[in-house]
Amino acid sequence: MKRLLSSLLLLSCVLPAQTRKVIANLSPDMLKELAVTAPNVKIVAARGADLAKEIVDADAMVGVQLTPELFKQAKQLKWLHISSAGVEPHAEQVGLFPALIDSDVVVTNAKNVYGPQIADHAFAFLLALTRRLNVTIPRQHLEEWPPGRNGMFELDGKTAVIIGVGGIGSQIAQRAHGFGMKVIGVDIRDVPIGNTVQRVVPPDMLDSVLPEANVVFISVPHTKKSEGMMGPHEFELMKQGSYFIAMSRGAIYSHAGLVKALDSGRLAGAGLDVTDPEPLPKGDPLWKFPNVVITPHTSGGSDNLQARLNHIVSENIRRFGAGLPLLNVVDKKEGF
């Protein structure tokens, strides 16, 4: 009996781990790397009609759109990786849907990948407005030398309110701290207080901190709870001469409320990488304000982006094959 048990134990050690099938359209370099780091993972590339066939026995999907129709055929799916920071349905992807939310499928995303460049972009907006670059740069081609320093604004000692102190908001907080600003965070989570963030309040206390803000940054994920949280009333609470910077999703703030705050002169300026709708239609009143800087939802661009996206994918596939906890797991009920 002892000999039999010893033989079975030895056999279990030499048998390969169960192969897990992952649908992912990866580069040859990544496939070569994963052949070494995740030997018990089988990577299958699939698009279009092939996807419906391959998904039936797939254990995971990485960076491939999963629709409700495809999900019905995914009989043994355990993990889905979404390649963006947001997981709500939008133009680039399907995102979360009820059947997926209610399932046992683990969802991961790229929420910690876009923070540095979006935070850079947020401060590019703020500095363009506070140093009046939005006025001087458009006139440069006219070879003009406009006089005066009126309207310039120093950041040191000012207060930033950051709505959403996650992967993007924490990076904005670092930069605000570097400019000598006091930072107040607004978040549903228990965000640690430190050098970069001096105070954090829950969303139901947003109104209490808005009057303190010289600049309000929007970096909260788009969920049912966050949609419209910066409404007309909240804009009216903002300090005279303050700034508004929107970096996550346009549905978080009231378009009409922002236009009114700009029209009345309450806001000194706004930087918008996100609007609702997108693209912002021609003739929209936001286009007319000289103190509004708009970019077409491009703040996620970076020379380092692809390397970070690839790292998350490679590391999570390795972990999935080894049965280890995954990075960037999404709370499907909360939506981020």
> What is the per-residue pLDDT across 267-313, written as a single tens digit (0 to 9) for each?
999 999 999 999 999 999 999 999 999 999 999 999 999 999 999 99
Mean pLDDT of 59-81: 95
Mean pLDDT of 187-191: 91
The pLDDT confidence band at residue 86, using thresholds 50, 70 and 90, is confident
For residue 204, tell me if it sits in a domain: yes
pLDDT value at 56 more than 80: yes
How far apart (Å, rounded) are the C-alpha atoms in residues 123 and 129? Answer: 10
Q: Indicate whether 129 and 159 sit together in one domain.
A: yes
Please report where in the chains the tokens 């000289």 appear, as a residue.
290
Q: What is the mean pLDDT of the chain?
A: 92
Mean pLDDT of 172-190: 97
Residue 239: what pLDDT? 97
Q: Indicate whether 282 and 311 sit together in one domain.
A: no
CA atoms within 13 A on the CB side of 176: 32
For residue 336, tell me if it sits in a domain: no
Q: Indicate whether 243 and 137 sit together in one domain.
A: yes
Burial code (b: 16+ CB inside 10 Å, e: under 16) for 256-270 equals ebbbbbbeeebbbbb
Q: Indicate whether 148 and 276 sit together in one domain.
A: yes
Number of domains in the chain: 2
Structural domain boundaries enclosing 178: 115-294
The pLDDT confidence band at residue 85, using thresholds 50, 70 and 90, is confident
Residue 169: what pLDDT? 96
Residue 90: what pLDDT? 60
pLDDT value at 16 more than 80: no
- Across the chain, the runs of DSSP E, i.e. the strands, are 20-24, 41-44, 60-62, 79-81, 106-108, 159-163, 182-186, 199-201, 215-218, 242-246, 267-272, 292-294
Q: Indicate whether 135 and 25 sit together in one domain.
A: no
* More reliable by pLDDT, 288 or 83: 288
pLDDT value at 13 more than 50: no
Residue 4: what pLDDT? 38
Pick the range with the lowest mean pLDDT from 84-98, 222-236, 248-262. 84-98
Please report where in the chains the tokens 């889905």 appear, as a residue.
80
Q: Indicate whether 104 and 127 sit together in one domain.
A: no
Q: Indicate whether 152 and 278 sit together in one domain.
A: yes
CATH of the domain at 252: 3.40.50.720
For residue 144, tell me if it sits in a domain: yes
* Main-chain phi, psi angles of 289, to 5 degrees: -80, 125
Q: Indicate whether 81 and 175 sit together in one domain.
A: no
For residue 329, tell me if it sits in a domain: no
For residue 171, tell me if it sits in a domain: yes
For residue 162, tell me if it sits in a domain: yes
User: Among candidates 308, 276, 270, which has minimal Cα distance to 288?
Assistant: 270
Mean pLDDT of 172-197: 95
pLDDT value at 100 more than 80: yes
User: Among candidates 333, 127, 102, 78, which has minimal Cα distance to 225?
Assistant: 333
* More reliable by pLDDT, 151 or 218: 218
For residue 3, tell me if it sits in a domain: no
Element (H, E) at 27: none
Please report where in the chains the tokens 């046992």 appear, as a residue.
104
Query: pLDDT tens digits for 102-161?
Result: 999 999 999 889 999 999 999 999 999 999 999 999 889 999 887 778 889 999 999 999
Contacts of 111 (CB under 8 A, 6+ apart): 85, 166, 167, 328, 330, 336
Residue 1: what pLDDT? 47
Q: Indicate whether 51 and 174 sit together in one domain.
A: no
For residue 97, tell me if it sits in a domain: yes
Distances 106 to 39, 57, 329 between C-alpha atoms, Å? 21, 16, 7
Q: Indicate whether 271 and 315 sit together in one domain.
A: no
Amino acid at 23: I
Residue 151: what pLDDT? 86
Q: Indicate whether 236 and 312 sit together in one domain.
A: no
Q: Indicate whether 130 and 193 sit together in one domain.
A: yes
Residue 146: what pLDDT? 78
Residue 159: what pLDDT? 98
